[in-house]
Amino acid sequence: MLSRVANSLYWMSRNVERAENNARILDVQLLQMIEAADEELVRDSDWRLIFEICDSTETMRRIKANPGYEESELVQYLAMAQENANSVASCAMVVRENARISRDHIPDDYWETWNRSYLALTDMDLKNSSVRDMRSFLENIKTTTLISQGIVESSMSRGVAYQMIKIAKWLERAEKTARILNVVCERTRERIRKEKTDDYYFWLAALRMTNGYNAYLKSNPPRMEPKNVLAFLISDKNFPRSIRYCLDHVRDAVEELEGGKVSHYSWELYAKLDEVRTSFSETDIGSLDSDELMQFLNDFQDGCNEISRIFSSTYYLTDPEAETAMAFQSQGMDMKGITSMKYKIEHTNIFDYETIVDQSMNTIRLKPRTDECQRLLSYRADITPATLTKEHVDIFGNNVETFFIAEHHQHLEVKSTSIVSIQKSPFIHRIDYSPEMNIIFHSQLFAEHYMAFLSNTAYTYITPEQMELVDRELGTMNNPVQYAIDVTEYVFEHFTYDGESTTVTTKASESFDLKKGVCQDITHVMLGILRSKNIPARYVSGYLYVGEDSALVGDAASHAWVEFMVPGIGWVGLDPTNNVEALENHIRVGVGRDYNDVSPVQGVYRGGSQSLDVKVSVSLLDQ
């Protein structure tokens, strides 16, 4: 599984757990507001507890400083606020988006469950919902999370996708329980110092927030003894929200993921898991005083956070802040808040023949691909004169349609209309090229597997003299990831985009001397340079969305760019025509060794010469 797929599944699952945890914590507070009179409850202290667990006290003070402040504003911020990346609604949005991206790897029922919850959310007035409406929403989210987790357990095969989902769930749960205990201990200690008396109110709240009140009473006396509650929520082997239970399941899932082996890249994760779990057996919680207990919990929470960090680093997962920086889709939405883009592409090829053609055989590669970052939502090909098409997938995984026109014709029109959704997945600059990657890169198995994309073709061949010019400027290739980035910049700076200087048959060696050409020529040059350094690289044909006020070029017709193989990561796209990563603006149709493998329209006919008119339109659709 590519790291980008694992990343979507991981943060989907973490946000499912985060949404359920925050929904339950907030619901506990709303229930206490309803059941308790003001004189029975120090509400400011209650909200401080909630915000320290789910956000920060600084945020709470800022909200309370608003003119005309009402308590419902605190509820709204934690439940619905668009600007709060950890609000229940924001988490639900992240889940739905990543579930949409990962639909090929999760049960259909899982996607449909979260999509229904999202659609219900879009019908709500997010800024003016009543407390009753927000409680109803929280109940819906809690139910949705439980149903979706049940779907995973009952429907998913126990493969890599399943293990990623489970690891994310248990890590998120362990961190939240550690956070709750840390905050509750601190608040309890403050209360005891001020009032010189034991107060069990916060320990009751901790059990309710972790959904452990009933389970605790069944295994402990009804008295809220702090040390018993701590031992239950930290080290109980049977309660599914205790930290020990969570980390035991994380380790089991990691072993499944690694096939029971400790590898050179995973030993640090195993070591940290075992270190934190060992602290359960070596620490007698009942013997600790309040200061020692706070230090233990602080170290414990740091340990849980470190496990998450190491896991993300081990499997090349992105920073959670990048994943949760997401806004809701509304008419006034800023483009920066969208993590996926939806496009409509219309591509028309019009052939006019000098004489009547009595028959023709054609193949078209116009149907966009579906993969881990791109989903084809609809596609239609209209051909005039009307004919039937037969579809197959070629050796490179491209969708190919073949059609035969037997009747006489002097005009042929092929129009394709596609709607595509693309995940925003900036990636290459996050890659840390490790020694393990380097070993794979130089292995014989790697070279043999990607042989087709290591050998230059007539289109991509660069002469030794031309490579000497590149080497003088770029130097020795030691890191293929950084080298590919440097080549992208080199080609961009030395070549001019010029639609009149070359033809469809121009070779890379010719374009190199001209120092100009269209995206096809610039891509061929970059492919030749990378392959000369034994970096597997392939030609990508597709479309480019430019939009308004953009410096990008290449949207007048089909666009082309490069993908190169990073060991352990997968194919990564770079656009040398624009010196950018191939991200959410690049719509992939076909891949191959060069243009000849992915030409949009190819065919043979019997008749005179022809003229070709190509029209391409790429428009951004509302999500």
* pLDDT tens digits for range 145-185: 999 999 999 999 999 899 999 999 999 999 899 889 888 88
SS (H, E, C) 330-379: CCCCCHHHCCEEEEEEEEEEEEEEEEEECCEEEEECCCCCCCCCEEEEEE
Tokens of 364: 């078209």
Domain match, 210 and 136 both = no
- Look at residue 103 and tell me whether its pLDDT is greater than 70: yes
Q: Which of 269, 301, 326 is the last residue of a domain?
A: 326
Q: What is the torsional sign of CA 561, 478, 450, 313?
A: negative
Q: How many CB atoms lie within 10 A of CB 219?
A: 11
pLDDT winner (highest mean) among 50-54, 227-231, 456-460: 456-460
Nearest alpha-carbon partner for 588 in 372, 403, 413, 318: 372
Domain match, 412 and 354 both = yes
Residue 447: inside a domain, yes or no?
A: yes
In order, the DSSP letters of 494-540 are: H-EE-TTS--TT--HHHHHHHTEE-HHHHHHHHHHHHHHTT--EEEE
Residue with tokens 């380790």: 251
d(Cα 270, Cα 260) in Å, to the nearest integer? 11
Residue 386: inside a domain, yes or no?
A: yes
Q: What pLDDT sits at residue 335?
A: 34
Q: How confident is the model at residue 413 (pLDDT cuts 50, 70, 90)?
A: very high
Q: What pLDDT sits at residue 35?
A: 55
Q: How confident is the model at residue 2 (pLDDT cuts 50, 70, 90)?
A: low
Q: What pLDDT sits at residue 320?
A: 44
In one-letter notation, the amino acid at residue 509 is: S
Q: What pLDDT sits at residue 476?
A: 93
Q: How confident is the model at residue 424 (pLDDT cuts 50, 70, 90)?
A: low
Residue 336: inside a domain, yes or no?
A: no
Domain match, 285 and 391 both = no
Domain match, 561 and 474 both = yes
Q: What pLDDT sits at residue 324?
A: 38
Angle at which helix 243-257 crosses helix 290-314, to 10 degrees, equals: 20
pTM score, two decimals? 0.61
Sheet with 360-364: strands ordered across: 389-393, 399-405, 360-364, 601-605
Look over the chain and give the mean of its residue pLDDT values, rounded to a whole number: 85
Q: What pLDDT sits at residue 425?
A: 60
Q: How many domains, the chain?
A: 4
Q: What is the pLDDT of residues 500-524, one digit of tens each?
A: 889 889 999 999 999 999 999 999 9
**Cross-strand bridge partners of residue 344:** 419, 619
- Look at residue 622 and tell me whether its pLDDT is greater than 70: no
325: Cα within 13 Å, side-chain hemisphere: 10
Distances (CA, A) of 59 to 50, 63, 129, 147, 227: 11, 6, 20, 32, 31
Distances (CA, A) of 25 to 20, 50, 205: 9, 7, 9
Residue 413's H or E segment, with its range, is strand 409-423
Residue 446: inside a domain, yes or no?
A: yes
Q: What pLDDT sits at residue 554?
A: 67
- Look at residue 127 and tell me whether its pLDDT is greater than 50: yes
Residue 82: inside a domain, yes or no?
A: yes
d(Cα 241, Cα 235) in Å, to the nearest integer? 10
Domain match, 204 and 231 both = yes
Tokens of 497: 């985009």
Nearest alpha-carbon partner for 226 in 164, 297, 133, 158: 297
- The larger pLDDT score, comparing residue 129 to residue 435, is at 435
Domain that holds residue 252: 158-326
Tell me the percentage of the chain whose pLDDT exceeds 70: 90
Q: Is the peptide bond before 385 cis (omega within 30 degrees of 0)?
A: yes
- Look at residue 556 and tell me whether its pLDDT is greater than 80: no
Domain match, 130 and 205 both = no
Tell me the percentage of the chain whose pLDDT exceeds 90: 42
Domain match, 110 and 182 both = no
Q: What is the mean pLDDT of residues 456-474?
A: 95
Helices (H), 573-620: 595-598
Nearest alpha-carbon partner for 582 in 433, 423, 345, 441: 423
Q: How many CB atoms lie within 10 A of CB 309?
A: 14
- Look at residue 420 and tell me whether its pLDDT is greater than 60: yes
In one-letter notation, the amino acid at residue 486 is: D
What residues have CB less than 8 Å from 600, skipping those under 6 apart?
Answer: 347, 349, 364, 365, 366, 541, 558, 589
d(Cα 100, Cα 175) in Å, to the nearest integer? 26
Q: What is the pLDDT of residues 16-68, one digit of tens each?
A: 999 999 998 888 777 766 555 444 444 566 788 888 888 888 888 888 888 88
**Cross-strand bridge partners of residue 384:** 413
- CATH number, position 347: 2.60.40.2250
Contact by Cβ (8 Å): 423, 340: yes
Q: What pLDDT sits at residue 512?
A: 94
28: Cα within 13 Å, side-chain hemisphere: 22
Determine which of 5-9, 53-57, 428-432, 433-437 has the lowest per-residue pLDDT on average: 428-432
State phi, psi for 158 to the nearest 5 degrees: -85, 60
Q: What is the mean pLDDT of residues 473-477?
A: 93
Tokens of 311: 């896991």
Residue 331: inside a domain, yes or no?
A: no
Q: What is the mean pLDDT of residues 611-620?
A: 90
Domain match, 383 and 311 both = no
Contact by Cβ (8 Å): 348, 614: yes
Distances (CA, A) of 611 to 137, 353, 554, 604, 608: 60, 6, 22, 14, 10
Residue 587: inside a domain, yes or no?
A: yes
Q: What is the pLDDT of residues 305-326, one digit of tens each?
A: 888 888 887 877 765 444 433 3
- Judged on CB neighbours under 10 Å (0-12, 13-18, 19+), 601 is middle
Q: What is the pLDDT of residues 344-359, one digit of tens each?
A: 999 999 999 999 998 8
Domain match, 452 and 395 both = no
Tokens of 486: 């440097």
Q: Which of 109, 136, 156 is the last residue of a domain?
A: 156
Q: Which of 156, 171, 206 is the last residue of a domain?
A: 156
Domain match, 57 and 136 both = yes
- CATH number, position 490: 3.10.620.30
Domain match, 119 and 66 both = yes
- Look at residue 10 and tell me whether its pLDDT is greater than 70: yes
pLDDT winner (highest mean) among 98-102, 183-187, 226-230, 411-415: 411-415
Domain match, 444 and 589 both = yes
- Look at residue 575 and tell me whether its pLDDT is greater than 60: yes
- Look at residue 83 and tell me whether its pLDDT is greater than 90: no
- The larger pLDDT score, comparing residue 42 to residue 418, is at 418
Residue 152: inside a domain, yes or no?
A: yes
Q: What pLDDT sits at residue 205?
A: 82
